[in-house]
A and B are shown apart, each in its own frame.
Chain A
Amino acid sequence: MRPALRKLSILMSLAMLLVLSGCSDAMVLDPKGPIASAQKDLILITVIICAVIAIPVFIITAVIIWRYRASNKSATYKPEWEHSTKLEATWWGIPAVAILILALVTVNYTYKLEPSVALASDKEPIEIQVTSLDWKWLFTYPEENIATINHVVIPEDTPIRFKLTSDMAMNSFWIPSLGGQLYSMSGMAMTLHLQADEPGTYYGSGANFTGEYFAHMTFSVDAVSDAEYDTWVNEVKANNEPLSDAKVEELLEQNVQEVQYFSAFPENLFYDIVTKYVEEGAHNPHAGHSGHESHDEHAEVNHEDHADHNHEEHVNN
Protein backbone atom coordinates (compact mmCIF):
# COMPACT_ATOMS: atom_id res chain seq x y z
CA MET A 1 0.00 0.00 0.00
CA ARG A 2 1.23 3.48 -0.81
CA PRO A 3 2.06 5.70 2.17
CA ALA A 4 -0.60 8.21 1.19
CA LEU A 5 -3.21 5.49 1.10
CA ARG A 6 -2.15 4.14 4.46
CA LYS A 7 -2.46 7.58 6.00
CA LEU A 8 -5.88 8.01 4.46
CA SER A 9 -7.12 4.68 5.77
CA ILE A 10 -5.81 5.43 9.27
CA LEU A 11 -7.61 8.75 9.15
CA MET A 12 -10.84 7.08 8.04
CA SER A 13 -10.70 4.50 10.84
CA LEU A 14 -10.04 7.27 13.35
CA ALA A 15 -13.02 9.20 12.06
CA MET A 16 -15.20 6.12 12.39
CA LEU A 17 -14.04 5.50 15.93
CA LEU A 18 -14.91 9.08 16.78
CA VAL A 19 -18.35 8.76 15.28
CA LEU A 20 -19.03 5.49 17.07
CA SER A 21 -17.79 6.73 20.44
CA GLY A 22 -19.82 9.91 20.01
CA CYS A 23 -22.87 7.78 19.42
CA SER A 24 -22.40 5.64 22.48
CA ASP A 25 -24.79 7.60 24.67
CA ALA A 26 -27.64 7.34 22.20
CA MET A 27 -30.41 5.20 23.72
CA VAL A 28 -30.10 2.32 21.26
CA LEU A 29 -26.32 2.15 21.68
CA ASP A 30 -26.49 2.38 25.48
CA PRO A 31 -28.56 -0.74 26.22
CA LYS A 32 -29.97 -1.44 29.66
CA GLY A 33 -31.36 -4.89 29.04
CA PRO A 34 -30.45 -8.22 27.42
CA ILE A 35 -32.54 -7.68 24.26
CA ALA A 36 -31.27 -4.18 23.62
CA SER A 37 -27.67 -5.25 24.17
CA ALA A 38 -27.99 -8.21 21.79
CA GLN A 39 -29.47 -5.80 19.26
CA LYS A 40 -26.60 -3.40 19.82
CA ASP A 41 -24.09 -6.21 19.22
CA LEU A 42 -25.90 -7.07 16.02
CA ILE A 43 -25.83 -3.43 14.91
CA LEU A 44 -22.08 -3.27 15.53
CA ILE A 45 -21.48 -6.51 13.61
CA THR A 46 -23.43 -5.05 10.68
CA VAL A 47 -21.51 -1.80 10.82
CA ILE A 48 -18.20 -3.66 10.74
CA ILE A 49 -19.21 -5.88 7.82
CA CYS A 50 -20.44 -2.81 5.93
CA ALA A 51 -17.34 -0.80 6.75
CA VAL A 52 -15.05 -3.56 5.48
CA ILE A 53 -16.56 -2.96 2.06
CA ALA A 54 -17.44 0.73 2.24
CA ILE A 55 -14.12 2.13 3.42
CA PRO A 56 -12.07 0.60 0.58
CA VAL A 57 -14.76 1.81 -1.84
CA PHE A 58 -14.38 5.37 -0.56
CA ILE A 59 -10.60 5.16 -0.92
CA ILE A 60 -10.76 3.62 -4.40
CA THR A 61 -13.26 6.29 -5.46
CA ALA A 62 -11.05 9.13 -4.29
CA VAL A 63 -7.94 7.63 -5.84
CA ILE A 64 -9.54 6.89 -9.22
CA ILE A 65 -11.14 10.31 -9.54
CA TRP A 66 -7.89 12.04 -8.67
CA ARG A 67 -5.61 9.87 -10.75
CA TYR A 68 -7.72 9.77 -13.91
CA ARG A 69 -8.66 13.45 -14.04
CA ALA A 70 -8.23 14.66 -17.62
CA SER A 71 -5.49 17.11 -16.68
CA ASN A 72 -3.26 14.25 -15.52
CA LYS A 73 -1.75 13.29 -18.86
CA SER A 74 0.59 10.72 -17.33
CA ALA A 75 -2.29 8.40 -16.39
CA THR A 76 -3.11 5.49 -18.68
CA TYR A 77 -6.09 6.09 -20.97
CA LYS A 78 -7.80 3.02 -22.39
CA PRO A 79 -11.17 4.10 -23.77
CA GLU A 80 -12.04 0.63 -25.09
CA TRP A 81 -11.16 -1.32 -21.92
CA GLU A 82 -14.55 -2.48 -20.76
CA HIS A 83 -14.37 -5.98 -19.43
CA SER A 84 -12.32 -8.17 -17.14
CA THR A 85 -13.81 -11.44 -16.03
CA LYS A 86 -11.41 -11.64 -13.11
CA LEU A 87 -12.28 -8.19 -11.79
CA GLU A 88 -16.01 -8.61 -12.26
CA ALA A 89 -15.98 -12.00 -10.60
CA THR A 90 -14.20 -10.33 -7.69
CA TRP A 91 -16.90 -7.76 -7.12
CA TRP A 92 -19.76 -10.13 -7.62
CA GLY A 93 -17.94 -12.37 -5.16
CA ILE A 94 -16.93 -10.01 -2.35
CA PRO A 95 -20.40 -8.55 -1.68
CA ALA A 96 -21.88 -12.03 -2.06
CA VAL A 97 -19.60 -13.40 0.65
CA ALA A 98 -20.22 -10.41 2.92
CA ILE A 99 -23.97 -10.78 2.48
CA LEU A 100 -23.77 -14.53 3.09
CA ILE A 101 -22.00 -13.95 6.40
CA LEU A 102 -24.45 -11.22 7.38
CA ALA A 103 -27.40 -13.39 6.34
CA LEU A 104 -26.24 -16.25 8.58
CA VAL A 105 -25.79 -13.90 11.52
CA THR A 106 -29.15 -12.28 10.86
CA VAL A 107 -31.11 -15.51 10.59
CA ASN A 108 -29.52 -16.76 13.79
CA TYR A 109 -30.41 -13.57 15.67
CA THR A 110 -33.89 -13.44 14.14
CA TYR A 111 -34.81 -16.67 15.89
CA LYS A 112 -32.89 -15.77 19.05
CA LEU A 113 -34.53 -12.36 19.42
CA GLU A 114 -38.03 -13.28 18.29
CA PRO A 115 -40.08 -11.07 20.63
CA SER A 116 -42.58 -13.74 21.59
CA VAL A 117 -39.86 -16.06 22.90
CA ALA A 118 -39.54 -15.96 26.69
CA LEU A 119 -36.25 -14.74 28.15
CA ALA A 120 -34.00 -17.17 29.98
CA SER A 121 -34.20 -16.34 33.67
CA ASP A 122 -34.63 -18.09 37.01
CA LYS A 123 -37.40 -15.64 37.86
CA GLU A 124 -40.99 -15.98 36.76
CA PRO A 125 -41.88 -13.35 34.15
CA ILE A 126 -44.31 -10.60 35.09
CA GLU A 127 -47.11 -9.89 32.65
CA ILE A 128 -48.04 -6.32 31.84
CA GLN A 129 -50.86 -5.66 29.40
CA VAL A 130 -50.38 -2.64 27.19
CA THR A 131 -53.16 -0.95 25.29
CA SER A 132 -52.43 1.88 22.91
CA LEU A 133 -55.32 4.32 22.73
CA ASP A 134 -55.73 7.69 21.02
CA TRP A 135 -53.49 9.28 22.44
CA LYS A 136 -52.30 7.57 25.62
CA TRP A 137 -50.95 4.27 26.85
CA LEU A 138 -52.98 2.15 29.27
CA PHE A 139 -51.00 -0.38 31.29
CA THR A 140 -52.81 -3.08 33.24
CA TYR A 141 -51.05 -5.44 35.63
CA PRO A 142 -53.19 -8.61 35.72
CA GLU A 143 -51.24 -10.21 38.58
CA GLU A 144 -51.25 -7.14 40.82
CA ASN A 145 -54.64 -5.91 39.57
CA ILE A 146 -53.53 -2.30 39.18
CA ALA A 147 -53.58 -0.02 36.16
CA THR A 148 -51.59 3.02 35.07
CA ILE A 149 -51.60 5.54 32.27
CA ASN A 150 -48.40 6.67 30.52
CA HIS A 151 -46.12 5.21 33.20
CA VAL A 152 -44.77 1.71 33.74
CA VAL A 153 -42.88 0.49 36.77
CA ILE A 154 -41.06 -2.82 36.49
CA PRO A 155 -38.75 -4.77 38.77
CA GLU A 156 -35.18 -4.94 37.51
CA ASP A 157 -33.61 -8.26 36.47
CA THR A 158 -37.04 -9.76 35.96
CA PRO A 159 -38.34 -10.75 32.55
CA ILE A 160 -41.41 -8.77 31.61
CA ARG A 161 -43.98 -10.22 29.25
CA PHE A 162 -45.68 -7.26 27.60
CA LYS A 163 -48.97 -8.13 25.97
CA LEU A 164 -49.81 -5.53 23.36
CA THR A 165 -53.08 -4.50 21.83
CA SER A 166 -54.75 -1.36 20.58
CA ASP A 167 -58.19 0.09 20.18
CA MET A 168 -58.51 1.14 16.52
CA ALA A 169 -55.32 2.87 15.33
CA MET A 170 -52.16 0.80 15.13
CA ASN A 171 -49.20 1.93 17.21
CA SER A 172 -45.80 0.54 18.05
CA PHE A 173 -44.54 0.02 21.58
CA TRP A 174 -40.91 1.06 21.88
CA ILE A 175 -38.53 1.38 24.83
CA PRO A 176 -35.19 1.92 23.04
CA SER A 177 -33.02 1.34 26.12
CA LEU A 178 -34.59 -2.06 26.76
CA GLY A 179 -35.11 -3.37 23.24
CA GLY A 180 -36.81 -3.07 19.90
CA GLN A 181 -40.42 -2.20 19.23
CA LEU A 182 -43.48 -4.23 18.32
CA TYR A 183 -46.77 -3.11 16.77
CA SER A 184 -49.84 -2.88 18.95
CA MET A 185 -52.83 -3.77 16.84
CA SER A 186 -56.54 -3.89 17.31
CA GLY A 187 -57.93 -7.39 17.56
CA MET A 188 -54.65 -8.95 18.60
CA ALA A 189 -52.61 -9.65 21.68
CA MET A 190 -48.97 -9.49 20.67
CA THR A 191 -46.19 -10.61 22.96
CA LEU A 192 -42.96 -8.71 23.57
CA HIS A 193 -40.44 -9.92 26.13
CA LEU A 194 -38.11 -7.32 27.63
CA GLN A 195 -36.01 -6.98 30.74
CA ALA A 196 -34.12 -4.20 32.51
CA ASP A 197 -30.70 -5.15 33.87
CA GLU A 198 -30.22 -2.09 36.03
CA PRO A 199 -32.45 0.40 37.79
CA GLY A 200 -33.24 3.62 36.03
CA THR A 201 -35.87 5.64 34.23
CA TYR A 202 -36.18 4.89 30.54
CA TYR A 203 -37.96 6.63 27.70
CA GLY A 204 -40.78 4.90 25.92
CA SER A 205 -42.99 6.03 23.08
CA GLY A 206 -45.41 5.04 20.41
CA ALA A 207 -43.37 4.75 17.26
CA ASN A 208 -46.15 4.34 14.74
CA PHE A 209 -48.19 7.36 13.72
CA THR A 210 -51.75 7.44 15.05
CA GLY A 211 -53.08 10.86 14.22
CA GLU A 212 -53.35 14.34 15.61
CA TYR A 213 -51.75 14.12 19.08
CA PHE A 214 -49.56 11.12 18.35
CA ALA A 215 -46.52 13.09 19.54
CA HIS A 216 -47.89 13.04 23.08
CA MET A 217 -47.89 9.24 23.32
CA THR A 218 -44.75 9.03 25.39
CA PHE A 219 -44.34 7.25 28.70
CA SER A 220 -41.58 6.59 31.17
CA VAL A 221 -40.43 3.21 32.38
CA ASP A 222 -39.01 2.96 35.90
CA ALA A 223 -36.93 -0.12 36.61
CA VAL A 224 -36.67 -0.55 40.39
CA SER A 225 -35.56 -3.19 42.90
CA ASP A 226 -38.01 -5.96 43.86
CA ALA A 227 -38.66 -4.34 47.26
CA GLU A 228 -39.32 -0.94 45.71
CA TYR A 229 -41.60 -2.56 43.19
CA ASP A 230 -43.72 -4.18 45.91
CA THR A 231 -43.88 -0.88 47.78
CA TRP A 232 -44.95 0.90 44.62
CA VAL A 233 -47.70 -1.64 43.93
CA ASN A 234 -49.00 -1.29 47.46
CA GLU A 235 -48.94 2.49 47.27
CA VAL A 236 -50.86 2.47 44.00
CA LYS A 237 -53.43 0.18 45.59
CA ALA A 238 -53.69 2.28 48.73
CA ASN A 239 -53.74 5.78 47.29
CA ASN A 240 -55.90 5.54 44.17
CA GLU A 241 -59.41 4.87 43.03
CA PRO A 242 -60.18 1.84 40.86
CA LEU A 243 -60.46 2.34 37.11
CA SER A 244 -64.21 2.83 36.66
CA ASP A 245 -66.25 1.93 33.59
CA ALA A 246 -66.89 5.62 33.08
CA LYS A 247 -63.16 6.32 33.11
CA VAL A 248 -62.63 3.49 30.61
CA GLU A 249 -65.18 5.17 28.34
CA GLU A 250 -63.26 8.40 28.64
CA LEU A 251 -59.97 6.67 27.82
CA LEU A 252 -61.44 5.14 24.68
CA GLU A 253 -62.25 8.60 23.36
CA GLN A 254 -59.67 10.63 21.51
CA ASN A 255 -57.81 12.72 24.07
CA VAL A 256 -54.46 13.22 25.76
CA GLN A 257 -54.10 12.09 29.37
CA GLU A 258 -51.75 12.81 32.26
CA VAL A 259 -49.94 10.07 34.17
CA GLN A 260 -52.53 8.32 36.36
CA TYR A 261 -52.79 5.28 38.63
CA PHE A 262 -55.69 3.01 39.51
CA SER A 263 -55.97 0.59 42.39
CA ALA A 264 -57.93 -1.90 40.30
CA PHE A 265 -59.41 -2.31 36.83
CA PRO A 266 -62.48 -4.02 35.35
CA GLU A 267 -61.90 -7.72 35.05
CA ASN A 268 -60.74 -8.91 31.63
CA LEU A 269 -60.45 -5.31 30.35
CA PHE A 270 -57.49 -6.09 28.10
CA TYR A 271 -59.01 -9.09 26.35
CA ASP A 272 -62.32 -7.32 26.07
CA ILE A 273 -60.53 -4.67 24.05
CA VAL A 274 -58.75 -7.33 22.01
CA THR A 275 -62.03 -9.01 21.05
CA LYS A 276 -64.09 -5.83 20.95
CA TYR A 277 -64.59 -5.87 17.18
CA VAL A 278 -64.97 -9.61 16.73
CA GLU A 279 -68.46 -10.37 15.55
CA GLU A 280 -70.68 -12.79 17.37
CA GLY A 281 -69.68 -16.33 16.52
CA ALA A 282 -66.69 -15.28 14.43
CA HIS A 283 -63.39 -16.94 15.06
CA ASN A 284 -60.42 -14.70 15.67
CA PRO A 285 -57.21 -16.69 15.45
CA HIS A 286 -55.08 -13.75 16.59
CA ALA A 287 -56.77 -12.96 19.86
CA GLY A 288 -54.83 -15.63 21.67
CA HIS A 289 -57.48 -15.85 24.35
CA SER A 290 -61.00 -17.09 24.28
CA GLY A 291 -64.01 -17.90 26.36
CA HIS A 292 -64.87 -14.57 27.86
CA GLU A 293 -67.74 -12.23 27.31
CA SER A 294 -67.36 -9.58 24.69
CA HIS A 295 -68.51 -6.00 24.69
CA ASP A 296 -69.86 -6.03 21.19
CA GLU A 297 -72.74 -3.72 21.89
CA HIS A 298 -70.46 -1.08 23.27
CA ALA A 299 -68.11 -1.46 20.33
CA GLU A 300 -70.86 -0.83 17.83
CA VAL A 301 -72.06 2.31 19.57
CA ASN A 302 -68.59 3.72 19.84
CA HIS A 303 -67.87 3.01 16.21
CA GLU A 304 -71.00 4.70 14.95
CA ASP A 305 -70.38 7.70 17.14
CA HIS A 306 -67.12 8.29 15.39
CA ALA A 307 -68.48 8.00 11.93
CA ASP A 308 -71.69 9.89 12.56
CA HIS A 309 -70.72 13.27 13.76
CA ASN A 310 -67.94 13.46 11.28
CA HIS A 311 -68.99 12.41 7.86
CA GLU A 312 -72.48 11.15 7.74
CA GLU A 313 -73.06 11.06 4.02
CA HIS A 314 -70.31 8.57 3.38
CA VAL A 315 -71.62 6.08 5.86
CA ASN A 316 -75.11 6.24 4.47
CA ASN A 317 -74.07 5.27 1.02
Chain B
Amino acid sequence: MSGVLLQVRNLQVYYGTDAGEVKAVDGVSFDLPRGLKLGLVGESGCGKSTMAMSMMRLIKPPGRIVGGQILLDGVDLASIPEEEMRRRRMTDISLIPQGAMNSLSPVARVRDQIIDGIKDHDVNLDKADLHRRVQEVLESVDLDPDVADMFPHELSGGMKQRVCVAIAIVLRPKLIIADEPTSALDVVVQRQVMQTIERLQEEMGISMILIGHDMGLMAQSVDLLAVMYAGRLAELGEVHEVFARPIHPYTRLLISTLPTLGQRGQFSGIPGITPSLLEPPPGCLFHPRCPKAEPACSEVCPTLIEERPGHWVACHPNGRA
Protein backbone atom coordinates (compact mmCIF):
# COMPACT_ATOMS: atom_id res chain seq x y z
CA MET B 1 0.00 0.00 0.00
CA SER B 2 1.48 3.29 -0.93
CA GLY B 3 0.19 6.69 -1.74
CA VAL B 4 -1.17 9.48 0.32
CA LEU B 5 -2.50 8.63 3.77
CA LEU B 6 -3.60 12.03 5.03
CA GLN B 7 -4.86 15.00 3.12
CA VAL B 8 -5.62 18.16 5.04
CA ARG B 9 -7.50 20.70 2.97
CA ASN B 10 -7.98 24.28 4.04
CA LEU B 11 -8.46 23.55 7.71
CA GLN B 12 -9.82 26.45 9.71
CA VAL B 13 -10.16 26.34 13.48
CA TYR B 14 -11.33 29.40 15.33
CA TYR B 15 -11.81 30.20 19.02
CA GLY B 16 -14.65 32.47 20.05
CA THR B 17 -13.66 34.77 22.89
CA ASP B 18 -15.25 37.80 24.51
CA ALA B 19 -12.89 39.99 22.53
CA GLY B 20 -13.57 38.40 19.15
CA GLU B 21 -12.60 35.42 17.03
CA VAL B 22 -9.09 34.05 17.33
CA LYS B 23 -8.07 32.40 14.09
CA ALA B 24 -5.82 29.77 15.52
CA VAL B 25 -5.62 27.76 12.28
CA ASP B 26 -6.56 29.61 9.13
CA GLY B 27 -6.42 27.63 5.94
CA VAL B 28 -3.78 24.93 6.38
CA SER B 29 -3.37 22.27 3.68
CA PHE B 30 -0.85 19.50 3.22
CA ASP B 31 -0.50 15.87 2.17
CA LEU B 32 1.19 13.14 4.13
CA PRO B 33 2.27 10.07 2.18
CA ARG B 34 1.99 6.71 3.90
CA GLY B 35 4.89 5.68 6.10
CA LEU B 36 6.53 9.08 6.26
CA LYS B 37 7.09 11.55 9.09
CA LEU B 38 5.97 15.14 8.82
CA GLY B 39 7.31 17.77 11.14
CA LEU B 40 5.11 20.74 11.99
CA VAL B 41 7.31 23.43 13.43
CA GLY B 42 6.58 26.93 14.69
CA GLU B 43 6.89 29.30 17.63
CA SER B 44 4.53 29.22 20.61
CA GLY B 45 1.07 30.29 19.70
CA CYS B 46 1.37 29.56 15.99
CA GLY B 47 -1.49 27.08 16.11
CA LYS B 48 0.37 23.79 15.93
CA SER B 49 -1.18 22.27 19.03
CA THR B 50 -4.58 23.37 17.77
CA MET B 51 -3.79 21.44 14.58
CA ALA B 52 -3.07 18.33 16.59
CA MET B 53 -6.25 18.59 18.60
CA SER B 54 -8.38 19.30 15.56
CA MET B 55 -7.10 16.29 13.70
CA MET B 56 -8.18 14.23 16.66
CA ARG B 57 -11.48 16.12 16.86
CA LEU B 58 -10.70 17.03 20.43
CA ILE B 59 -11.26 20.75 20.15
CA LYS B 60 -13.62 21.96 22.86
CA PRO B 61 -15.76 25.09 22.88
CA PRO B 62 -15.09 27.96 22.55
CA GLY B 63 -12.93 26.46 19.80
CA ARG B 64 -14.50 24.82 16.79
CA ILE B 65 -13.60 23.58 13.32
CA VAL B 66 -15.02 26.22 11.06
CA GLY B 67 -14.11 24.75 7.70
CA GLY B 68 -11.88 22.41 5.74
CA GLN B 69 -11.35 18.69 5.52
CA ILE B 70 -9.13 16.15 7.22
CA LEU B 71 -9.11 13.16 4.89
CA LEU B 72 -7.58 10.05 6.43
CA ASP B 73 -7.68 7.36 3.76
CA GLY B 74 -10.54 9.19 2.18
CA VAL B 75 -12.62 9.57 5.36
CA ASP B 76 -13.19 13.19 6.40
CA LEU B 77 -12.49 13.22 10.13
CA ALA B 78 -13.81 16.76 10.40
CA SER B 79 -17.32 15.82 9.40
CA ILE B 80 -18.03 12.28 10.58
CA PRO B 81 -20.37 11.89 13.58
CA GLU B 82 -18.84 11.90 17.05
CA GLU B 83 -19.53 8.23 17.71
CA GLU B 84 -17.67 7.17 14.58
CA MET B 85 -14.78 9.49 15.46
CA ARG B 86 -14.58 7.93 18.89
CA ARG B 87 -14.16 4.53 17.31
CA ARG B 88 -11.50 5.78 14.96
CA ARG B 89 -9.44 7.41 17.69
CA MET B 90 -6.61 5.11 18.71
CA THR B 91 -7.44 2.62 15.96
CA ASP B 92 -6.88 4.90 12.98
CA ILE B 93 -5.32 7.99 14.44
CA SER B 94 -3.64 8.42 17.78
CA LEU B 95 -2.21 11.28 19.80
CA ILE B 96 0.66 11.66 22.22
CA PRO B 97 -0.35 14.99 23.74
CA GLN B 98 1.95 17.63 25.14
CA GLY B 99 3.00 16.81 28.68
CA ALA B 100 1.54 13.35 28.24
CA MET B 101 3.74 11.85 30.88
CA ASN B 102 2.17 14.10 33.45
CA SER B 103 -1.30 13.03 32.53
CA LEU B 104 -0.84 9.37 33.34
CA SER B 105 -3.17 8.42 36.14
CA PRO B 106 -1.13 8.26 39.35
CA VAL B 107 -3.36 5.63 40.89
CA ALA B 108 -3.42 3.05 38.12
CA ARG B 109 -0.70 0.63 37.13
CA VAL B 110 0.79 0.92 33.69
CA ARG B 111 -0.85 -2.31 32.58
CA ASP B 112 -4.31 -1.03 33.42
CA GLN B 113 -3.79 2.23 31.63
CA ILE B 114 -2.84 0.44 28.47
CA ILE B 115 -5.70 -2.01 28.77
CA ASP B 116 -8.14 0.86 29.29
CA GLY B 117 -7.53 2.04 25.79
CA ILE B 118 -7.95 -1.42 24.34
CA LYS B 119 -11.18 -2.15 26.17
CA ASP B 120 -12.75 1.12 25.20
CA HIS B 121 -12.67 0.10 21.58
CA ASP B 122 -14.72 -3.05 21.93
CA VAL B 123 -11.78 -5.28 21.26
CA ASN B 124 -12.81 -8.50 22.87
CA LEU B 125 -9.78 -10.22 24.19
CA ASP B 126 -9.61 -12.44 27.21
CA LYS B 127 -7.36 -11.67 30.12
CA ALA B 128 -4.41 -13.70 28.90
CA ASP B 129 -4.48 -12.08 25.48
CA LEU B 130 -4.67 -8.63 26.98
CA HIS B 131 -1.66 -9.29 29.13
CA ARG B 132 0.28 -10.57 26.17
CA ARG B 133 -0.61 -7.48 24.15
CA VAL B 134 0.62 -5.30 26.98
CA GLN B 135 3.92 -7.22 27.13
CA GLU B 136 4.38 -6.92 23.39
CA VAL B 137 3.73 -3.23 23.27
CA LEU B 138 6.03 -2.52 26.21
CA GLU B 139 8.83 -4.47 24.61
CA SER B 140 8.34 -2.62 21.38
CA VAL B 141 9.00 0.67 23.16
CA ASP B 142 12.14 -0.74 24.75
CA LEU B 143 10.66 -1.10 28.20
CA ASP B 144 11.12 -4.06 30.47
CA PRO B 145 7.86 -6.07 30.73
CA ASP B 146 8.06 -5.63 34.53
CA VAL B 147 7.10 -2.03 34.01
CA ALA B 148 3.52 -3.17 33.44
CA ASP B 149 3.05 -3.65 37.17
CA MET B 150 4.49 -0.33 38.18
CA PHE B 151 2.85 2.98 38.93
CA PRO B 152 3.79 6.09 36.99
CA HIS B 153 5.58 7.73 39.91
CA GLU B 154 8.03 4.84 39.99
CA LEU B 155 9.19 5.58 36.49
CA SER B 156 11.58 8.18 35.16
CA GLY B 157 10.48 10.87 32.69
CA GLY B 158 11.73 8.96 29.68
CA MET B 159 10.03 5.78 30.76
CA LYS B 160 6.74 7.54 31.36
CA GLN B 161 6.90 9.02 27.92
CA ARG B 162 7.53 5.61 26.43
CA VAL B 163 4.43 4.36 28.23
CA CYS B 164 2.50 7.13 26.53
CA VAL B 165 3.91 6.02 23.20
CA ALA B 166 2.87 2.46 24.00
CA ILE B 167 -0.67 3.55 24.77
CA ALA B 168 -0.79 5.41 21.49
CA ILE B 169 0.33 2.49 19.34
CA VAL B 170 -1.34 -0.43 21.07
CA LEU B 171 -4.21 -0.52 18.61
CA ARG B 172 -1.93 -0.08 15.61
CA PRO B 173 -3.22 3.19 14.24
CA LYS B 174 -2.34 4.39 10.77
CA LEU B 175 -1.20 7.78 11.99
CA ILE B 176 0.31 9.09 15.21
CA ILE B 177 0.43 12.72 16.14
CA ALA B 178 3.16 13.52 18.66
CA ASP B 179 2.82 16.98 20.18
CA GLU B 180 6.19 17.98 21.67
CA PRO B 181 6.80 14.44 22.91
CA THR B 182 10.22 15.16 24.31
CA SER B 183 9.99 18.72 25.54
CA ALA B 184 10.44 17.92 29.19
CA LEU B 185 13.11 15.31 28.69
CA ASP B 186 16.88 15.47 28.96
CA VAL B 187 18.79 15.48 25.75
CA VAL B 188 20.07 11.91 26.00
CA VAL B 189 16.67 10.54 26.93
CA GLN B 190 15.15 12.62 24.18
CA ARG B 191 17.37 10.97 21.65
CA GLN B 192 16.52 7.52 22.97
CA VAL B 193 12.78 8.15 22.92
CA MET B 194 12.91 9.65 19.44
CA GLN B 195 14.94 6.74 18.13
CA THR B 196 12.48 4.30 19.67
CA ILE B 197 9.59 6.12 18.02
CA GLU B 198 11.45 6.08 14.73
CA ARG B 199 12.15 2.38 14.90
CA LEU B 200 8.55 1.59 15.76
CA GLN B 201 7.30 3.74 13.03
CA GLU B 202 9.43 1.97 10.46
CA GLU B 203 8.64 -1.51 11.74
CA MET B 204 4.91 -0.96 11.95
CA GLY B 205 4.55 1.30 8.96
CA ILE B 206 2.84 4.02 10.96
CA SER B 207 2.92 7.53 9.61
CA MET B 208 3.70 10.32 12.01
CA ILE B 209 3.22 14.02 12.50
CA LEU B 210 5.75 15.50 14.90
CA ILE B 211 4.82 18.85 16.33
CA GLY B 212 7.35 21.09 18.01
CA HIS B 213 9.33 24.29 18.09
CA ASP B 214 12.78 22.71 17.99
CA MET B 215 14.15 22.85 14.46
CA GLY B 216 17.08 20.77 15.56
CA LEU B 217 14.82 17.93 16.59
CA MET B 218 12.99 18.22 13.30
CA ALA B 219 16.22 18.03 11.35
CA GLN B 220 17.10 14.83 13.15
CA SER B 221 13.77 13.10 12.86
CA VAL B 222 11.45 13.98 10.03
CA ASP B 223 11.14 13.43 6.28
CA LEU B 224 8.89 16.37 5.44
CA LEU B 225 8.87 19.72 7.16
CA ALA B 226 6.01 22.21 7.44
CA VAL B 227 6.76 25.61 8.93
CA MET B 228 3.77 27.23 10.56
CA TYR B 229 3.35 30.89 11.41
CA ALA B 230 0.34 32.53 13.04
CA GLY B 231 -2.12 29.90 11.93
CA ARG B 232 -0.88 29.41 8.39
CA LEU B 233 1.82 27.44 6.62
CA ALA B 234 4.81 29.48 5.52
CA GLU B 235 6.76 26.70 3.89
CA LEU B 236 6.39 22.98 3.21
CA GLY B 237 8.84 20.56 1.66
CA GLU B 238 11.26 17.70 2.02
CA VAL B 239 13.43 18.29 5.09
CA HIS B 240 16.87 18.30 3.46
CA GLU B 241 15.58 20.64 0.78
CA VAL B 242 14.01 23.06 3.27
CA PHE B 243 17.17 23.26 5.34
CA ALA B 244 19.49 23.54 2.38
CA ARG B 245 17.44 25.96 0.30
CA PRO B 246 14.88 27.69 2.49
CA ILE B 247 12.67 30.04 0.52
CA HIS B 248 10.48 31.88 3.02
CA PRO B 249 12.26 34.62 4.98
CA TYR B 250 10.77 33.27 8.21
CA THR B 251 12.23 29.83 7.59
CA ARG B 252 15.58 31.38 6.80
CA LEU B 253 15.52 33.39 9.98
CA LEU B 254 14.46 30.35 12.01
CA ILE B 255 17.36 28.34 10.68
CA SER B 256 19.86 31.10 11.28
CA THR B 257 18.87 31.49 14.93
CA LEU B 258 19.96 27.98 15.69
CA PRO B 259 23.32 27.42 17.26
CA THR B 260 25.57 25.20 15.21
CA LEU B 261 28.93 23.73 15.94
CA GLY B 262 31.90 25.57 14.61
CA GLN B 263 30.54 29.06 14.59
CA ARG B 264 30.94 29.87 18.19
CA GLY B 265 29.48 33.15 19.32
CA GLN B 266 27.46 33.66 16.19
CA PHE B 267 23.79 33.52 16.77
CA SER B 268 20.86 35.76 16.08
CA GLY B 269 17.17 36.05 16.74
CA ILE B 270 14.06 37.16 14.97
CA PRO B 271 13.11 40.71 15.88
CA GLY B 272 9.60 41.57 16.98
CA ILE B 273 6.97 39.32 18.51
CA THR B 274 4.36 36.96 17.11
CA PRO B 275 1.24 38.75 15.93
CA SER B 276 -2.02 38.81 17.80
CA LEU B 277 -4.35 36.25 16.26
CA LEU B 278 -7.25 38.36 17.41
CA GLU B 279 -6.33 41.35 15.27
CA PRO B 280 -3.87 40.00 12.75
CA PRO B 281 -1.93 42.47 10.62
CA PRO B 282 -3.29 42.99 7.11
CA GLY B 283 -1.82 41.07 4.21
CA CYS B 284 0.96 38.65 5.02
CA LEU B 285 0.98 37.94 8.76
CA PHE B 286 4.75 37.93 8.86
CA HIS B 287 5.35 41.26 7.14
CA PRO B 288 5.89 43.39 10.29
CA ARG B 289 8.94 41.26 11.15
CA CYS B 290 10.10 40.44 7.65
CA PRO B 291 13.41 41.83 6.44
CA LYS B 292 12.19 41.60 2.85
CA ALA B 293 8.79 43.18 3.25
CA GLU B 294 7.48 45.39 0.51
CA PRO B 295 4.25 47.39 0.22
CA ALA B 296 2.47 44.50 -1.47
CA CYS B 297 3.06 42.36 1.58
CA SER B 298 0.82 44.46 3.77
CA GLU B 299 -2.04 44.28 1.33
CA VAL B 300 -2.37 40.78 -0.01
CA CYS B 301 -1.92 37.60 1.97
CA PRO B 302 0.17 35.18 -0.10
CA THR B 303 -1.14 31.68 -0.77
CA LEU B 304 0.83 28.46 -0.75
CA ILE B 305 2.35 27.80 -4.18
CA GLU B 306 4.69 25.12 -5.44
CA GLU B 307 7.87 27.07 -6.09
CA ARG B 308 9.89 23.98 -6.84
CA PRO B 309 8.70 20.38 -7.20
CA GLY B 310 7.54 19.25 -3.79
CA HIS B 311 8.59 22.52 -2.17
CA TRP B 312 5.74 24.87 -1.31
CA VAL B 313 5.94 28.40 0.04
CA ALA B 314 3.52 31.20 0.88
CA CYS B 315 5.40 34.34 0.03
CA HIS B 316 5.31 37.10 -2.55
CA PRO B 317 8.00 37.03 -5.25
CA ASN B 318 10.20 39.64 -3.58
CA GLY B 319 10.67 37.49 -0.50
CA ARG B 320 11.33 34.16 -2.12
CA ALA B 321 14.82 32.81 -2.52
A and B: real partners? no
Chain B residues packing against A (C-beta within 8 Å) = none
Chain A residues packing against B (C-beta within 8 Å) = none
